[in-house]
Each structure stands twice: as C-alpha cells, then as structure tokens.
C-alpha cells in the first residue's frame, strides 16, 4: 500500500534518502511503529551527557550539601537512562520496553 501510493519501490530511480523523505510523518508513526520505538531506545542508550543547566535562584540543600544562589546545576541523563529503578535491565537494548503492554515504569515518557 505505502509503496503503491508513494512510488517507493526499490526499482525507483530516486536515491533512498529522497524516497524516505517522501514518507509523511503520520505514516512513520501509524504504519511503522517499530521505527519509533527503536529510535526511542537508541536515544535512551546513547544519551549520556549533561543536558540541563539551571542557575539556582535561592540557596538549596541537596543531600546535606548547600548549593548557593547563582550556582548552576546539570543533570546527567545516564543517571536516569541507566537506572534499574526506572528501566528493567537498563544496559540491555530493548525497544519493546516502549510498547503499551509493558509496565508503567518502563513507559514513563510521553508518546
């Protein structure tokens, strides 16, 4: 069905990247849900840097440590992505963890 409507057959004279670019966004989500969950899991596994910087407006005490006004904080994404309290078997590549039938703690990100 997709190939007939969008002329995406392998015999097309257009290069693959142009054929893929012709696929509408809703088709990727509705007809190819496996691509979405594979991308989500890939991002979970590879994202490991500091992604958030927050300048502190008031003094804050965290685990007995005072963070002064004007200091900044960052959050290490890997602390969540590799946390077994959030993800079962966090070091395992498992795109199926995003399927609707899985436990809530494994589907905490909005779709």
**3-class SS at 85?**
coil
Against a cut of 0.85, is the pTM above it?
A: no
Under the banding of pLDDT at 50, 70 and 90, the label for residue 36 is confident
> Mean pLDDT score of the chain, rounded to an integer?
79
Nearest to 40 by CA among 101, 81, 85: 81
Question: 53 pLDDT exceeds 70?
Answer: yes
Question: 1 pLDDT exceeds 50?
Answer: no
| Domain boundaries along the sequence of the chain | 48-111
Would you say how long the chain is, in residues? 111
Residue with tokens 């596994």: 45
Nearest to 2 by CA among 33, 27, 21: 27
Nearest to 90 by CA among 63, 66, 110, 108: 108
- Phi and psi, residue 100, nearest 5°: -60, -25
pLDDT of residue 10: 57
Q: What are 96-110's pLDDT values in tens digits? A: 888 877 664 555 544
């Amino acid at each position: 069905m997709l190939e007939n409507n969008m002329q995406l057959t392998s015999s097309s004279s257009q290069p693959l990247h142009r054929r893929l670019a012709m696929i509408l966004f809703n088709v990727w989500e509705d007809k190819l849900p496996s691509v979405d969950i594979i991308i989500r899991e890939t991002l979970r596994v590879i994202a490991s840097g500091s992604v958030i910087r927050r300048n502190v407006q008031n003094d804050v005490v965290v685990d007995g440590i005072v963070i002064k006004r004007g200091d900044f904080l960052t959050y290490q994404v890997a602390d969540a992505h590799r946390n077994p309290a959030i993800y079962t078997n966090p070091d395992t590549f498992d795109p199926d963890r995003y399927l609707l039938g899985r436990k809530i703690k494994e589907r905490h990100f909005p779709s």
